[in-house]
Amino acid sequence: MTPLVSGNVTGLLADLPPGSAAAVSSYGLKIDDMAGMVVPKGYPLEQHVVITNDGYKLGTFRIPYGRSGPSGNTRPPVLLIHGISLASTCWVLNSPAESLAFILADQGYDVWMMNTRGNTFSRSHTLLRDTQPRFWNFAVDEMALIDFRETLKYVQDQTGVKKIGVVGHSQGATLALMALAADPWLSESVAVLVAMGPCAYVRLMKSTTAMMNLLPPQELIYMSAEMQQTFLNGACQMPGTMLSCLTTMEGIFGASRRISAAQYRRYWQIWPSSTSLGNALQWSQIYNEPTARFFRNNYGAEYDLGKVKAPVVMLSGTADVLAAPEDIAMQVRNLRDAIKGEHKVADYSHMDFIWDTGASKTVYPIVTQTLAKAFSSS
C-alpha cells in the first residue's frame, strides 16, 4: 500500500472520525466536464465530433493555443491518446504546469485529444443506442484500425498539416502501433509516435478475464456522471473504507511511489471511463496464449511491428507491471529501425506517466524535446 506511506492518509485518519468524508479538492470535478477542467485554467477548448465509417461518434477535444493566446503561425498538431478505462480528461486533470496537454499548448502546439468508442465522451452512434448490445460489439482492433486512423485524418483535414505528432499512454500507444503495423502508409501521416508504457506482449499480466468469454457483447464499465458523484461521495472518500479502493487501484495498475492517497481521491472523480467487454477479452486472449504473440481479436492475424515505419520513441517504467520491462524489450526488438529512442524511467509505475505531478520534470521534457526534434526535421 505505497500511497499510505507517501500520501496523506495518516493525517486523514487523524482528522476525520470513522465513517465521515471530506472534500477532495477546492472544487468538484465531473467525469463528463472537460470544459470545467480546461477553461477555468485559462485555456480555450473546442469540441469536435469524428464520425467513423461504422457510425460511432467520437468526442474529440482541441486546445488550439496556450495561455499566451493565438498567433499567426501554424502550430504543429499533436494528438494525445488515452489508455484503457481513461478518457481525454487524463491529460488536463493536474495543474497547467503538471498536465501534458497544457504544457504542450503553452509550448506552441495545437493539442488534440481523442476519445475511443464507448468511453465517457464517445457514447453516441448514428444508428445505435449505448443501451443496445450491438453498440458494444467492438474490441481493441476497432479502436486502432478505425478510431485512431479516422481521428488522425480528421486532425489533418482540420489543420491542413500532413504530419501529426502522436503521444499515447498504455493502450493509447498500442492503438497507434497496431494501426501503423496494419497500414504502413499511415507512417506518412505521423511525425513521431511517443509511446508511454504501451502494452503488446502481455503474458506477464495477471488476468482474471478468461471466464468472460462466455458473456455476450456488453459494456464492461458503466460510469455515468451521477454514479461517479455518488461513488466518490461514498466509500472511496471515507478513511475506513478508502483502503479497499486503493487496494483495487493498485491491483489493476500496480503500486506507485509517486501518487499519494490524496491524489487518488481527486483522480477518482474522473476514473474510470467506460469501455467494452470485448476490449478486455482481446487482451485476455493475448495474455492466455502459451507464447508471446500480438494479434487481432479472436486469434486473428498478428500485428507485425516490423512493418512500422514511423519514428517511435519508447518510454517505459522499471516498476510497470502492465507494460512489463520484458514486454517493452520485445516491442523494441520487433520495431527494429523504427525505434529512434528508448527511455527507461527508474521506479516508474504504469499510471505515473499521466498522474505523477512530477512527470513535468521526469517524463514530459522527453516528450517535448522529441516532438520539437520531429517537427524541426519534417
Which pairing describes strands 46-51 and 56-63: parallel, antiparallel, or unpaired? Answer: antiparallel
Please tell me which residue in 82, 125, 169, 350 is annotated as part of the active site.
Answer: 350
Q: Where are the beta strands (DSSP E) in the chain?
A: 46-51, 56-63, 77-81, 110-114, 124-125, 164-169, 190-196, 312-317, 339-345
| 350 among known catalytic residues | yes
> Which of these is catalytic: 32, 106, 110, 320?
320
d(CA 263, CA 334): 37
**Ordered DSSP codes for 84-145:** TT--GGGGTSS-TTT-HHHHHHHTT-EEEEE--TTSTT--EESS--TTSGGGG---HHHIII
- Grid coordinates standing for 288? 492466455
Cβ atoms within 10 Å of 45's Cβ, excluding its own: 19
Q: Based on the residue annotation, tell me whether 169 is a catalytic residue of this protein.
A: no
Beta strands 110-114 and 124-125: pairing type? unpaired
- Is-catalytic flag, 170? yes
Q: Which three cell numbers stand for residue 241?
A: 473504507
- C-alpha span between 34 and 258 (Å, rounded): 25
Burial state string for 80-111 with b = 16 or more CB within 10 A and e = fewer than 16: bbbbbbbbbbbbbbbebebbbbbbbbbbbbbb
Q: State the catalytic residue, choosing from 170, 274, 316, 349.
A: 170
Picking from 354, 316, 319, 356, the residue whose alpha carbon sits closest to that of residue 332 is 316
Catalytic center residues: 170, 320, 350
